[in-house]
Structure 1
Amino acid sequence: MSFFRGQFANVVEWEEFRDDMIFWKWNNREIKKGSKLIIGPGQDAIFFDHGKIEGIFKEPGQYEVESEIIPFLSTLKGFKFGFNSGMRIEVLFVNTRQFVVKWGTKNAINIPSPQLPGGVPIRANGTFKFRVKDYLSLIENVVGVRNSYLVEDVRKLIVPSIDQLLMKWITREGKDLFNLQAYSYEIGEGIREELDMRVNKEGFEITEFNVMSFSFPEEIQEMVKKSASHSMIGDMDRYKDVAMTDAISSGNSPGANTATDMAGMMMGMNMAQQMMNGMNQNGANPQNQQQQAPQQPQQSQAQQGQQATDNGAGEIPNFCPQCGTPTNGMNFCGNCGHRLA
């Protein structure tokens, strides 16, 4: 008799366990006298019949169904095993761990911006975490049509709505599009709350939603870099000074000699210009000297002639006979234009 009883005994356990499997249903079989229930770590075993939960068992280990399980079922306490016939009941094994899913925008999201008429194309990526929260909702809305459920099934359920939620929370309250990382927690928390409401009816809970990074097309990134560098420099004069200093200090880099020479020339020209400006401010301008020259006493024609005689015929006089300005060896007077030789 014990031989037959052993033949009819069943082992109720999660037979197709996978780390990415959220639940697995043991069904369409009879639990008979001598059956055992095996619960693995991180698993809950839920006995249910016609969508109604009869009992939930959480502690990992091995249990005798007849003596340790049946007495605790809500509506089947009076069930007595008899002969070799058993009772049909379904057992749902649930993975109680928290699952982590990676996500990323498949296409760039065009965020409206006054800087670009067509909007700023933005991509983002990150992770979200979820777990099973409500067993009754899970049985009523998912388990009835599925024998198992994978993490990938939840990812397909959630990811398509992320793009729309990203656009909503990025554009909310006029955030700086080029500094979105500063708002990543706020954006992620807003998306988490909305996703959580969407999956609650399936019995799931979104525990975290993280935005790891935002990215722009390469040309947009270059614009941001240039804008940042210009704002750091402050003005173009300072930018040129910094550029020249960098060129001089990079003497060991390829082309550094040419860069250094050019930088030196530019610095020399700037210094000369500053000196000229200083001379103008101090009244040392040569033109001022020329304008002051006529105030000097003019030589008489005899004195000029005598100088011409002393210097030899045809030689250029030291002072212009017309205005008295020093000739400096020129053929024409630099002040009045009088021909000197």
Structure 2
Amino acid sequence: MSFFNQFANVVEWEEFRDDMIFWKWSNREIKKGSKLIIRPGQDAIFINNGKIEGIFEQEGEYHIASEIIPFLSTLKGFKFGFNSGMRVEVLFVNTKEFTVKWGTQNPVLIPTPQLPGGMPIRANGTFNFKVNDYVTLIDKIAGIKDSYLVEDVKIRITSVLDQLLMKWISREGKDMFNLQANAFEIAKGIREDLDMQVMDNGMTITGFHVMSFNYPQEIQDKITKTASYEMIGNLQKYQQVAMTDGMASGNIKGGGAAADMAGMMMGMNIANEMMKNMNAGQKPPADPAPASSAPASEGKKPNFCPNCGTKNEGSKFCPNCGQKLSE
């Protein structure tokens, strides 16, 4: 027994990395005293002559001779004698779901009638993926590589991402100046297409998210200004809010022509409000009393005779009936 223990191996993922999708333990012999160590978030796959002999998913420490070999011997005629060591490969797979940040390196030109050359748009977000098919993974990647990194998957994804963004923005981007409103549908379509891209490597895209769409600064400024008009509803209110913002930020004073215009408009608005308040505070004048019912002032001759109604020309007596017209 001491002879075998002297050459015992520990089969384990020796340099585990969070950004590594798989790592291959190879070019060494498994001997009678060897043991297998599987850590949380790992699966161990025994490969012999390029074929999967067994998959071990439970974390823990296993003795090759008493726990692994008896199980493997029941699969596909696997035979292992202890007269000498046997070369066998063990592929350790990281089972977690990976989250990767992405961003367009260059603006994606989206065809739009408003701009003949296309709308230059940048975007960024995250995508998630994990290994889901060990047979395909070994056949397409692990058969020729000893390890595989998240960065390798990211490079493959980003190489086709610009084309997919153009495809799904053109299809789902009903409002080219408000793509964020359709971000969910755009991301859903891209995820389905990306899943087809990595499926042949034994992986699956479990999520794809667009965090933001970014326009050139001059276009973004126009979008923001248009949104402000629509949000407020009309020009008058927009001007009022603009002046209020200017006063709050201290930009009205010393602001040149714009500040002068804002001040003039503010003064006009204040004057209008004052006129409205003054008009509201004034009472309407009382209706004048009828001339016939108004009492004559003392010593003043009436214009008409109170007895017969004849017009008076300033005399003391009515020229028609002789009625005395004043004291």
TM-score by length of 2: 0.75
Helix, strand or coil: the match of 2:76?
A: coil
Equivalent residues in 2 for 1:127-206 (5 A)? 127-173=126-172, 175-206=174-205
Structure 1 residues 118 and 3, CA gap change in structure 2 (3 angstroms): same
1:238 to partner: Cα distance: 5.3
Contact 1:25 1:147 in 2 (8 A): yes
User: How far apart, CA to CA, are the structure 1 residues paired with 2:57 and 2:152?
Assistant: 25
TM-score by length of 1: 0.72
Equivalent residues in 2 for 1:182-331 (5 A)? 182-236=181-235, 239=238, 246=244, 250=247, 253=250, 255-256=252-253, 262-263=264-265, 266-267=268-269
- Structure 2 residue aligned with 1:81: 82
Contact 2:191 2:207 in 1 (8 A): yes
- Structure 2 residue aligned with 1:17: 16
User: How far apart, CA to CA, are the structure 1 residues paired with 2:270 and 2:80?
Assistant: 105
Quick one: which amino acid aligns to residue 8 of structure 1? F
Deviations 1:167-214 (A, max 9, x none): 100010551111111111111111111111111111111100010111
Equivalent residues in 2 for 1:36-47 (5 A)? 36-47=35-46
1:270 to partner: Cα distance: 7.4
- Structure 1 residue aligned with 2:70: 71
- Structure 2 residue aligned with 1:298: none
> Comparing both structures, which one devotes a greater share of its residues to helix?
1
Quick one: which amino acid aligns to residue 59 of structure 1? Q
Give the aligned length: 269
Gaps of 5+ in 2: 277-327
Gaps of 5+ in 1: 275-341
User: How far apart, CA to CA, are the structure 1 residues paired with 2:134 and 2:179?
Assistant: 38
- Structure 1 residue aligned with 2:313: none
1:132 to partner: Cα distance: 0.6
- Structure 2 residue aligned with 1:126: 125
Structure 1 residues 210 and 35, CA gap change in structure 2 (3 angstroms): same
Quick one: which amino acid aligns to residue 265 of structure 2? A
Helix, strand or coil: the match of 2:112?
A: coil
Deviations 1:58-85 (A, max 9, x none): 1111111011001111135543322xx1
- Structure 2 residue aligned with 1:102: 101
Helix, strand or coil: the match of 1:34?
A: coil
Helix, strand or coil: the match of 1:118?
A: strand
Contact 1:70 1:76 in 2 (8 A): no
Helix, strand or coil: the match of 1:9?
A: coil
Contact 1:135 1:203 in 2 (8 A): yes
Deviations 1:220-252 (A, max 9, x none): 0111122223334555455556666x38x9389
Q: CA RMSD in A?
A: 2.8
User: How far apart, CA to CA, are the structure 1 residues paired with 2:249 and 2:124?
Assistant: 41
Contact 2:38 2:58 in 1 (8 A): yes
1:121 to partner: Cα distance: 1.0
User: How far apart, CA to CA, are the structure 2 residues paired with 1:39 and 1:251?
Assistant: 63
Deviations 1:240-295 (A, max 9, x none): 56666x38x93893545975762365458979xx9xxxxxxxxxxxxxxxxxxxxx
Equivalent residues in 2 for 1:28-39 (5 A)? 28-39=27-38
User: How far apart, CA to CA, are the structure 1 residues paired with 2:105 and 2:248?
Assistant: 46
User: How far apart, CA to CA, are the structure 1 residues paired with 2:53 and 2:182?
Assistant: 46
User: How far apart, CA to CA, are the structure 1 residues paired with 2:141 and 2:239?
Assistant: 67
1:88 to partner: Cα distance: 1.4
Identity %: 60
